[in-house]
């Protein structure tokens, strides 16, 4: 009987932990994706660079937690794209920066979406 309740408890705990993690990933990634989207849309190059910097800080802040839960491959790709975007910002390449920020925004959003309990992820 004890083992049965341990099993039930374990299943409930894992379900709750899974739902919490999915929500935490969405909550942490969505603001980053929005910042990057804004950076892509901003006509002022300096504003875009500031938004990119803020997005990078937030991304780095959540990096460890995310690395525990998901495949490191896509995260490494996002890291390298951030580095590339920062280089574009330093060189004043506004068009390239805008395109890259939009791409980054999509990637960050997709990374979070991979953890959400949607039917397409499930299947």
Interacting residue ranges for another protein, rule: CB under 8 A: 1, 3-4, 6-8, 10-11, 14-15, 17-19, 21-22, 67-73, 114-117, 121-122
Q: How far is CA 5 from the centre of its chain?
A: 36
Helix (H) or strand (E) run with residue 99 in it: helix 94-113
Nearest to 89, CA basis, from 75, 81, 57: 81
Of 91 and 116, CB closest to another protein: 116
- Residue 8 CB, shortest distance to another protein, in Å, is 6
- Residue 61 CB, shortest distance to another protein, in Å, is 18
Of 36 and 66, CB closest to another protein: 66
Of 56 and 115, CB closest to another protein: 115
How far, CA to CA in Å, does 100 sit from each of 20, 23, 67, 103?
Answer: 31, 26, 23, 5
- Residue 119 CB, shortest distance to another protein, in Å, is 10
Of 12 and 87, CB closest to another protein: 12
Burial class of residue 72 in the structure, from the number of CB atoms within 10 Å of its CB (0-12 exposed, 13-18 middle, 19+ buried)? exposed
By the 8 A CB rule, do 31 and 58 touch?
yes
- Residue 63 CB, shortest distance to another protein, in Å, is 13
């Amino acid at each position: 009987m004890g083992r049965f309740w341990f099993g039930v408890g374990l299943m409930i705990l894992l379900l709750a932990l899974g739902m919490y993690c999915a929500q935490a990933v969405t909550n942490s990634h969505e603001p980053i994706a929005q910042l990057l989207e804004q950076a892509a849309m901003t006509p002022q190059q300096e504003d875009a660079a500031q938004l990119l910097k803020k997005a990078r800080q937030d991304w780095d802040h959540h990096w460890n937690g995310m690395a525990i839960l998901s495949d490191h491959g896509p995260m490494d790709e996002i890291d390298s794209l951030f580095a590339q975007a920062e280089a574009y910002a330093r060189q004043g390449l506004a068009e390239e920066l805008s395109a890259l920020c939009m791409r980054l925004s999509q990637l960050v959003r997709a990374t979070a979406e991979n953890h959400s309990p949607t039917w397409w992820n499930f299947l």
